[in-house]
């Protein structure tokens, strides 16, 4: 089995110090490729270095909406430079987080639009973080995004109606361990709603360990298997078939 963790923060504390062991456990579990996600200028540099070191590890560069207020034009300039380094396969995470509002909403929107511009220039797909901001996210995508850019809604947990809208627009959806949580009935209904060919999966580690490992404080790529098992069960397919389809989707989306 070859699962791909499409959203991991492998440069964060808890994972970065023991990255060799983390990746070894991941491979042993059947999770053999990783997209490491940048969230600010510092982590974007680290993500690129990590991707240069490990063959099956790829870089995705972004500025998280939480950090939108700290954004400086030189950060974007640097991202554009780093895109040329070869292992950068996508932009993000970028988007809107109106749940925490750690940055002003206007700053978040401006930065999100800026990323959509770079996506259009670089022809890279975009990993979107959208929390409590569904309508505004869709409006910005509709008005500012290049129609040929590919988008994935990461760590997805929306309503069935929103899920249908995302699929209708041709975007992708990526699920985390949330779908294994006891009270996540709606998230499981969303899994049933999303066609297999429009789906990807991720840990979003070091956060959100899936059941039955939810007590493990630091989530890691090896635990992606539990999320895959749950999705296979919900979709009524065997895990090998699911893994093959997810691999196809992920390779097509990120061009890896
Ligand atoms: Zn996120
Ligand atoms: Zn993330």
Closest CA to 79 of 63, 57, 55: 63
Average pLDDT over residues 213-224: 97
pLDDT at 84 over 90: no
The residue range of the domain holding 214 is: 3-254
CA distance 248 to 242: 10
Which ligand ends up closest to the CA of 5? 2
Q: Please tell me the predicted confidence (pLDDT) of residue 86.
A: 82
Residues with a beta carbon under 5 angstroms from ion ligand 1: 93, 129
Q: Please tell me the predicted confidence (pLDDT) of residue 198.
A: 98
Share of the chain above pLDDT 70, in %: 100
Cα 204 to middle of ligand 2, angstroms: 5
pLDDT at 85 over 90: no
pTM: 0.97
Average pLDDT, the chain: 97
Give the total number of structural domains in the chain. 1
Cα 154 to middle of ligand 1, angstroms: 6
Cα 7 to middle of ligand 2, angstroms: 6
Listing from the earlier edge strand, what are the strands of the sheet with 3-8?
3-8, 31-37, 57-61, 88-97, 126-131, 151-153, 172-175, 199-201
Look up the CATH number of the domain holding residue 170.
3.20.20.140
Cα 192 to middle of ligand 1, angstroms: 22
């Amino acid at each position: 089995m070859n699962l791909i963790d499409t959203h991991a923060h492998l440069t964060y504390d808890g994972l970065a110090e023991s990255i060799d062991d983390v990746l070894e456990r991941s491979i042993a579990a059947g999770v053999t490729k990783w997209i490491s996600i940048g969230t600010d200028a510092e982590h974007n540099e680290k993500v690129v270095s990590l991707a240069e070191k490990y063959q099956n590890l790829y870089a995705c560069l972004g500025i998280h909406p939480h950090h939108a207020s700290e954004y400086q034009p030189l950060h974007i300039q640097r991202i554009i430079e780093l895109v040329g380094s070869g292992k950068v396969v996508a932009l993000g995470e970028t988007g809107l987080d109106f749940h925490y509002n750690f940055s002003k909403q206007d700053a978040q929107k401006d930065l999100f639009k800026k990323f959509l511009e770079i996506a259009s220039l670089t022809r890279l797909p975009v990993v979107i973080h959208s929390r409590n901001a569904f309508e505004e996210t869709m409006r910005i995508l509709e008005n500012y995004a290049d129609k040929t850019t590919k988008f994935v809604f990461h760590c997805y947990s929306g309503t069935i109606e929103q899920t249908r809208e995302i699929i209708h627009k041709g975007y992708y959806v990526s699920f985390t361990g949330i779908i294994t949580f006891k009270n996540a009935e709606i998230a499981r209904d969303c899994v049933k709603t999303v066609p297999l060919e429009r789906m990807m999966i991720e840990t979003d580690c070091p956060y959100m360990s899936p059941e039955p490992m939810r007590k493990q404080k630091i989530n890691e790529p090896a635990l992606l298997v539990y999320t895959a098992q749950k999705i296979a069960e919900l979709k009524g397919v065997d895990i090998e078939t699911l893994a093959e389809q997810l691999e196809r989707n992920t390779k097509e989306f990120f061009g890896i």
